[in-house]
Amino acid sequence: AHDPVDVADILVDAAADARAVQPGRTMTVDVPDASIHIEGDDARLRQVVAALVHNALVHTSEDVTVRLAARDRGNGLVELSVTDDGPGLTADEAALVFERFVRGDHSRSRHTGGSGLGLPIAQSIIAAHNGTLTLDTEPGAGCTFRIMLPANRNDS
């Protein structure tokens, strides 16, 4: 779909869904007062943000804060981010997160965890929107998944 999508709505809804799953978890949402719109598929973009939030909930303890943010970068790009204050990943682990069938927790199997497809699918959805999905992390510094998408300049 190529419809106007308000990214703030996606982040607010994802945080509400996460609070329903883990009511004790601190979730913050930082969005500007003015709407930020992109052109895309609302359902698929919600799928991406949900996958990123889900990973933060599953791979960090409940006392770790998860922050969702959106901003217009002013250069024709919109940035969405999902950040946690968890343990972070090593460079070797981070290099594999967008590979198919890779699981961050090696003790989890197909029967007790995910398939290892969430992040590769998320990355392909963002690529289909002419954007990028990247990870900033290091041990002890948490994880920030950053989505960069073209802004919808035709929307006022």
DSSP, residue by residue, 51-69: HHHHHHHHHS-TTS-EEEE
Q: How far apart are CA 61 and CA 54, in angstroms?
A: 12
In DSSP terms, which residues pair with 144 in a beta bridge? 83, 136
pLDDT of residue 155: 46
> Locate tokens 């392909």: which residue?
124
Query: Helices (DSSP H) in 23-117: which residue ranges?
Result: 42-59, 91-94
pLDDT tens for each residue of the chain, 156 residues long: 788 999 999 999 999 999 999 999 999 999 988 888 899 999 999 999 999 999 999 999 999 999 999 999 988 899 999 999 999 999 988 888 888 755 554 433 333 355 567 799 999 999 999 999 999 999 999 999 999 999 875 544
- The closest alpha carbon to 120, from 100, 92, 147, 91, belongs to 100
pLDDT of residue 52: 96
Contact 120, 59 (CB under 8 A): no
- The closest alpha carbon to 3, from 109, 148, 98, 129, belongs to 129
Burial class (CB in 10 A: 0-12, 13-18, 19+), 123: buried
